[in-house]
């Protein structure tokens, strides 16, 4: 481990230890480091890859830091370079076999007057200088796998052992440089299941309160990506509760401003996120499903009610997801869960009613709704035995019914719009869709009716005996 002055020593001791880490570094990545060192340069594995290796986790990407200038890196790997927009910041992407490796020149940086990027970058300095500009100590280590040497000037390895997230240097300075780091502080807690250092969190609360314009400079896309990672982490509640404590949540998601004023409701939403399966659309549906409650809250002699909160919540959720620039398909997948999360969960529903419910939301969304309802019950804080039994019986009926079901949407009908136009003599238009819906409802009463012969017979009878308002 390295002292703050930069002295190094072999990497031994705390598990997983060098003997466990080194074999997990792909040979192609080691070869990139070896090539740079052969040419007389320094080269180290840095960033999230090293952090994850030390934690025994599979790295998601690979980063190498070097004193070679970008042009010298390009010269070292002819024919193996990938297009990368980070060249002006000193990053060259090298294809090592099938593995992309980002090779970045040691650098020093100027002030971050825009709150996002340095005013200037200077390609010089030492590995310790380079590590000193990083956000958190657990990301500010460097490993030379050939010399088996770890550079750790900010005691990041100790913080990994203690499972704590803290900044490199003055936390207020780090967050003023780049406001996105405030979200990353909570994202790492959620993803790694670490705790945040109290002093670092106090600095976030201070910066957010005194300079709210800083977080406003962060693009919606960057906020979206941090929240996606936070929500799908192993401990999303840690991150979400921190965002609430520091006042960041309503700053990045204004729709939550009235929600955080109701601690019980906010706690319920967080508990629902923690209980639901860690799939992105389910986690977003969980945090958004009761977003409309503050706007619809009424109290009368029978208690507190939230009539229509699903519809109000859907509108708020739609605006939020659009602002974060989610795709249309993902947005609709979440909104259908928010809109339908109060679906009737009655095991005594008729088969026809169950088929029509499945048709309204689709097979996949129906099972997502069941999962959201399960998490909602868990998040209620008490064991609702009757609710559990009802949900179990309803889910069992759905599974039994749909196991052999072949007619779930109008597209499953044995006839289509062209058949309707041919038999009834209709032109393309809304009336064709209405007749398709009529056929679908007729089939849901008895799926055996879904044959071409019977449906054409239904249409011919309809043509022979039209309703009075059509004749």
Task: Quick: pLDDT tens for 229-254.
Answer: 999 999 999 999 999 999 999 999 99
455: enclosing H helix or E strand: helix 452-464
In this prediction, residue 5 carries a pLDDT of: 41
User: pLDDT (tens digit, 9 = 90+) per residue, 70-114?
Assistant: 999 999 998 887 766 667 778 899 999 899 999 999 987 655 555
Task: Look at residues 141, 161, 181 and tell me which one is the last residue of a structural domain.
Answer: 161
The answer to whether residue 102 is domain-embedded is yes
Domains of the chain: total: 4
115 and 246 fall within a common domain: no
319 and 344 fall within a common domain: yes
- From the centroid of its chain, how far is CA 292? 22
Q: What is the mean pLDDT of the chain?
A: 88
Enumerate residues 6+ apart whose C-beta is below 8 A from 366: 357, 358, 398, 402
Q: Is the model's pLDDT at 310 over the cut of 50?
A: yes
Given pLDDT bands bounded at 50, 70 and 90, which one contains residue 202? very high
Quick one: which of 244, 49, 44, 234 has its CA closest to 153?
A: 44
The answer to whether residue 400 is domain-embedded is no
Given pLDDT bands bounded at 50, 70 and 90, which one contains residue 143? very high
Q: Is the model's pLDDT at 383 over the cut of 80?
A: no
Q: Is the model's pLDDT at 400 over the cut of 90?
A: no
The answer to whether residue 215 is domain-embedded is yes
Phi, psi of 122 (to 5 degrees): -115, 125
Tell me the pairing of strands 195-196 and 91-96. Answer: unpaired
140 and 176 fall within a common domain: no
The answer to whether residue 261 is domain-embedded is no
In this prediction, residue 231 carries a pLDDT of: 98
- Give the count of beta carbons closer than 10 Å to the beta carbon of residue 249: 24
147 and 185 fall within a common domain: no
Helix axes 180-192, 220-231, angle to 10 degrees: 20
The answer to whether residue 362 is domain-embedded is yes
Task: Look at residues 161, 185, 215 and tell me which one is the last residue of a structural domain.
Answer: 161
151 and 49 fall within a common domain: yes
The parent domain of residue 390 ranges over: 279-394
In this prediction, residue 408 carries a pLDDT of: 64
Which CATH number do you get for residue 138?
A: 3.30.460.10
Task: Look at residues 122, 141, 161 and tell me which one is the last residue of a structural domain.
Answer: 161
343 and 437 fall within a common domain: no
Rounded Cα distance, 438 and 440, in Å: 5
332 and 431 fall within a common domain: no
342 and 372 fall within a common domain: yes
In this prediction, residue 337 carries a pLDDT of: 96
Rounded Cα distance, 308 and 54, in Å: 50
114 and 101 fall within a common domain: yes
188 and 139 fall within a common domain: no
Q: Is the model's pLDDT at 334 over the cut of 50?
A: yes
In this prediction, residue 114 carries a pLDDT of: 56
424 and 312 fall within a common domain: no
441 and 387 fall within a common domain: no
The answer to whether residue 266 is domain-embedded is no
pTM of the shown model? 0.83
């Amino acid at each position: 481990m390295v002292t703050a002055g930069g002295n190094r020593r072999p990497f031994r001791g705390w598990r997983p230890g060098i003997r466990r880490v080194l074999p997990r570094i792909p040979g192609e990545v080691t070869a990139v480091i070896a090539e740079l060192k052969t040419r007389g340069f320094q080269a180290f594995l840095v960033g999230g890859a090293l952090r994850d290796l030390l934690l025994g986790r599979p790295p998601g990407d690979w980063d190498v830091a070097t004193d070679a200038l970008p042009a010298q890196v390009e010269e070292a790997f002819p024919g193996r370079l990938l297009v990368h927009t980070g060249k002006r910041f000193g990053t060259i992407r090298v294809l090592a076999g099938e593995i992309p490796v980002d090779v970045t020149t040691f650098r020093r940086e100027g002030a971050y007057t825009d709150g996002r990027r340095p005013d200037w970058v200077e390609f010089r300095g030492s590995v310790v200088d380079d590590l000193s500009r990083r956000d958190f100590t657990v990301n500010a280590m460097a490993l030379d796998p050939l010399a088996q040497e770890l550079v750790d000037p900010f005691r990041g390895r100790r913080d990994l052992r203690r499972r704590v997230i803290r900044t490199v240097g003055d936390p207020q300075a780090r967050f003023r440089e780049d406001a996105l780091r405030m979200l990353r502080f909570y994202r790492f807690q959620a993803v790694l299941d670490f705790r945040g250092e109290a002093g670092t969190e106090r600095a976030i609360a201070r910066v957010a309160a005194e300079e709210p314009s800083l977080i406003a400079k962060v693009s919606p896309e960057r906020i979206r990506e941090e929240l996606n990672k936070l929500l799908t982490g192993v401990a999303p509640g840690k991150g979400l509760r921190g965002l609430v404590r520091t006042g960041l949540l309503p700053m990045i998601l204004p729709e939550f401003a009235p929600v955080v004023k109701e601690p019980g409701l906010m706690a319920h939403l967080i508990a629902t996120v923690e209980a639901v399966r860690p799939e992105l659309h389910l986690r977003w549906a969980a945090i958004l499903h009761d977003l409309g409650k503050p706007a619809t809250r009424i109290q009368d002699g029978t208690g507190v009610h939230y009539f229509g909160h699903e519809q109000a919540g859907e509108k708020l959720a739609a605006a939020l997801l659009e602002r974060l620039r989610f795709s249309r398909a993902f947005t609709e997948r979440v909104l259908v869960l928010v809109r339908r999360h109060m679906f009737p969960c009655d095991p005594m529903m008729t088969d026809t009613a169950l088929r029509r419910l499945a048709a309204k939301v689709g097979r996949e969304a129906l099972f997502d709704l069941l999962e959201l309802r399960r998490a909602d019950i868990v998040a209620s804080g008490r064991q609702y035995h009757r609710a559990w039994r009802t949900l179990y019986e309803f889910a069992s009926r759905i599974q039994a019914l749909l196991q052999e079901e072949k007619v779930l949407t109008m597209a499953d009908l044995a006839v289509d719009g062209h058949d309707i136009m041919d038999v009834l003599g209709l032109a393309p238009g809304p009336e064709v869709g209405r007749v398709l819906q009529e056929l679908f409802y007729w089939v849901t009463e008895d799926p055996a009716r879904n044959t071409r012969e019977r449906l054409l017979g239904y249409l011919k009878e309809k043509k022979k005996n039209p309703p009075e308002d059509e004749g």
